[in-house]
Structures are given as structure tokens and as C-alpha cells.
Amino acid sequence: MSFLTRLPLFLYTKSSLVCALAVVYLSVVRSLRWRRYNAIHKKYSAKFRAKTLTPEEAQEVIQLSFMYDMPTLSEYSLAFALFKTYAIPTISKLLLDTKQLASQALVARRYADTEILIGTWIACPLAGRLITAEPEAPANDPRASIALARVNWLHSKYKISNEDYLYTLGLFAFEPGTWAARYGWRPLSPLERHASFVYWAEIGRKMNIKNIPNTAEEFQAWLRTYEEEHMVPAQSNYDVAKHTTDELLFPVPETFGLRSFFEGLTRSLLEDIVRVAMMQPEAPKYAKYLVRGTLGLFAFIERYLLLPRRKPFAVVQVDLPKIDSDSAAAPRLHPNKYASKPWYKPRSRGLGGFLLDRLQVFIRMYDDVPRPEYKCEGYRLHEVGPLRFEQEGHEQVMKMAAELQGCPVVDAWKHGSKTTAG
């Protein structure tokens, strides 16, 4: 049989093999894509129905979307939840008065610190130990409690109304579900939405926020009423929104109208009431369709074509860092992503690292290379915050962290508290 005679059979066999492999791959994706989801729901469905889910269990449930299924989308949902608060004049005016938006470096520092603190609450166990640990196991991971205590200490320096706290808390509880329904490869399940309310209500209690509604439905109704009454146009709203947008869109150059184009896409993500309060023009008519179409395509690819994430991803390190018992200071940590000014980004080693750092600046990933002024050695949780408070409040933070987790903070995390307390 000649080659030309065998060619159709060869092509048929090869195409059949490719199709068979494709079917197998898609079947594997379908099976693995929902495995972790199914396991979590099997584990907690009974407690969901009985409404007995604990905050620690709720944290494990929300970590499914935040650290495995939709980490990037979930992260941006919180970023835009925080962005949305800037449409409340009392919040935006306070932010301007803190002077933390006076330069790009300060804006980037605030953005980085906020991501680290909130990311630590989500990724690290609220109880100071893994949920699978034995009841008598030591609370050897106090990171979440230290981060919460640091936020409480920093907030005590400012006059913030309980209603503004409550509004911000509510957005954190519900915006991830809204974004998942609009842009994710799957919506959040009723269990996940309930867990989000339980978890963030506990965060609110740990932050001493009063009058947290008893149910998610009551909380959402309160949020709508608060927006209708307090979300009004103000110059401070516009100014804070502009500073934040400049940070978010830092990598986008001005050339060829790219910055203006992406600003329009960003505005399309805002509800009209938010956009008007921020004194922003309407987004171009095509922007919403382009954003939804692009994110819809990504969601389709992720759901049907990509294998699920094997390891968790978070802004901060998920596993407990290795502690040097002989060290005289608490461990320094590095986040997994960085702001325009590379706060807490370690210096790369060798010639390859030197060139990589400069390449990243050249392509506008960052505005500068890692330097000591950007804390390239890393951060300590009890020092995070505005520069003027960096060396203050350490002893108070540790006492507050111990109260939050119900037991003393292990010594290895207190060694850095040698500076004078504020």
C-alpha cells in the first residue's frame, strides 16, 4: 500500500487520538474542578442547614473561593469594595486628612499594607491554630490576631463612626458574592454566602463594630439604605478615587490613549450611584460589554479548560513561616504581590536578578527596584501601617492580639516588640 493510500487512514487515526485525548482531558478537568467544592459542601452542609457554622469553619468555607477557585477575582472584589467606600464623604475626607495619599509612594504603601492586613485575616487561622488541630494544640499561628489587633490600634488614632465601619464591613461580606455571580466561573453557593456573612460578622465583632445585623438579608437592606442616605457627590470622593485609580492603573501608559481607555473600563465596574458620588463621567457604552465579554471568556476557559489550582494562593504566605527560635526579633515576611512602589519586595540575587528587577521597571510592572526605603527586608505585622506609626503601639498590639485569640501570643512573634510602645 502506497503512502498516499495510507495517508487518509493515518490522518483519521491521528485525529481520533487527538479527539480521544481531548475528551479525556476535559473529563479530568470536569471531575477535578468540582472536587474541592464538593468536599467542602459535604463537610459543612448539615451545619449550614442548622445555622451552626462557627466563624473558624466559615473561614475555611470562604477560603475555597479566595484561595483556590477564584483568588484573583475575590481579591479584586475586596479591592473594589474598599474603593466603593470612597464614595462616602465622611470616609473619603478622613482618608485625605490622614495625609497618606500625599505621594505615589504613600499611596502604594497604604495599598500594600491594606492588602497584607486583610489578606492575613483571610489566609491565616482566626483561632491561631488550624481548624484540623486538636483542641489542646498550641496557638502557634497568631498572624490573623496580630493583623486584626494592628488594624484596631491604627484605627484608634482616628475618629471613625460606627456606621462607616459597618458599611465597609458589609461590602467586604457581600461584594465577593456579587463579583462571583457577575464575572466568576461559578457563583457562590448558599453555603458560601452564609459563611461569608458569619466570617465577616466575626471580624466585625473583633473590631468592636456595633449593631451588626443578625442576618445577611437585614445587613444588605441596611447597606442599601445607608448608600441612599450617605453616598453623595463630594470633592474628597473624587480626589481619593483618583489617587486609588492611579495606583491600580499604574502599569498602563498614557501613550495612544491607553490610560484613558482603561479608566473607562474601570468606571464600567461601578454602579451609577457610586460613579456619580465620585463625580466621574459615564463609562463609554462599549466598556461594560467589553469587560463582561472578556471576563466571561476567562470564566469559560477556567471552568471548562483549565485544571484547578493544586495549592492555595493568597496575598500573604499561607503556610506558617519557619521561625528562628534563636532570633531576637519577630520574623519578617514578604507578600506574594506588590504595589507600584515595590514595598516589601526582596532584592533579587545575582546578575540575573539585577537584570530582572530593572526589566520589571522598564515594562512598568513597578516604579522602582527593591530598596531599603521600601522595606525590602520584609514587614513585621505589628509594624504595618503609616510610617509615623511604624515604631509605635507594639506592646498594645500584642496584648490586643492575645485577647482576640484567647491566649498569649507565642514568644517567637513577640520578640520584635522591643521598641517603645505608642
So what's the pLDDT on residue 419?
Answer: 39
Instruction: Compute the average pLDDT of residues 169-195.
Output: 97
- Please compute the mean of the pLDDT values over residues 122-149 and round it to a whole number: 85
- List the beta bridge partners of residue 379: 333
Choose the most confident range, by mean pLDDT, from 18-32, 280-294, 323-337.
280-294
Beta strand residue intervals within 44-186, DSSP E: none
Encoded amino acid at 133, one letter: A
The reported pLDDT for the residue numbered 415 is 56
On the question of pLDDT at 92 being above 80, the answer is: yes
**Contact between 278 and 241 (Cβ < 8 Å):** yes
What single letter denotes the amino acid at residue 254?
E
Flag whether pLDDT at 418 surpasses 60. Answer: no
Predicted confidence (pLDDT) at residue 104 exceeds the cutoff of 80: no
In terms of phi and psi (left: phi > 0; alpha: psi -120 to 50; beta: otherwise), the region of 26 is alpha
Identify the pLDDT of residue 277: 96
Nearest-CA neighbor of 150 among 323, 409, 396, 422? 396
- pLDDT value at 151 more than 80: yes
Rounded Cα–Cα distance for residues 346 and 159 (Å): 35
The pLDDT of residue 382 is above 70: yes
Tell me the three cell numbers of residue 257: 490613549
Question: How many residues comprise the chain?
Answer: 422
d(CA 421, CA 26): 57
pLDDT at residue 8 tops 70: no
* Structure-model confidence comparison of residues 414 and 78, the more confident one: 78
Q: Which residue has the cell 463621567?
A: 281
State residue 329's pLDDT score.
Answer: 74
- Decide: 369 and 91 in contact? Cβ < 8 Å: no
C-alpha cell at 5: 493510500
pLDDT greater at residue 236 or residue 102: 236
- Cα Dmax for the chain: 90
Q: Measuring CA to CA, how many Å separate 298 from each of 31, 80, 99, 184, 251?
A: 19, 19, 38, 9, 21
47 φ/ψ angles, rounded to the nearest 5 degrees: -70, -30
- Using pLDDT thresholds of 50, 70 and 90, give the confidence band for residue 412: confident
Of the chain, the percentage scoring pLDDT greater than 90 comes to: 67
What is the reported pLDDT for 51? 93
3-state secondary structure of 294: helix
- Nearest-CA neighbor of 321 among 76, 85, 140? 140
Residue 422 is predicted with a pLDDT of 35
* pLDDT of amino acid 326: 61
pLDDT band for position 130 (cuts 50, 70, 90): confident
Instruction: Please check the confidence at residue 2 and state whether its pLDDT lies above 60.
Output: no
Torsion of CA 62, 65, 68, 73, to 10 degrees: -130
Provide the pLDDT for residue 417.
Answer: 43
- Locus of grid cell 484567647: 406
Statement: residue 63 has pLDDT above 60: yes
pLDDT of residue 64 exceeding 60: yes
Q: How close are the terminal C-alpha atoms of the chain, in Å?
A: 90
Tens of pLDDT, residues 199-250: 999 999 999 999 999 999 999 999 999 999 999 999 999 999 998 888 888 8
Rounded to 10°, the helix 71-85/162-183 angle is 140
CA distance linking residue 328 with residue 417, whole number of Å? 10
| DSSP annotation of 311 | S
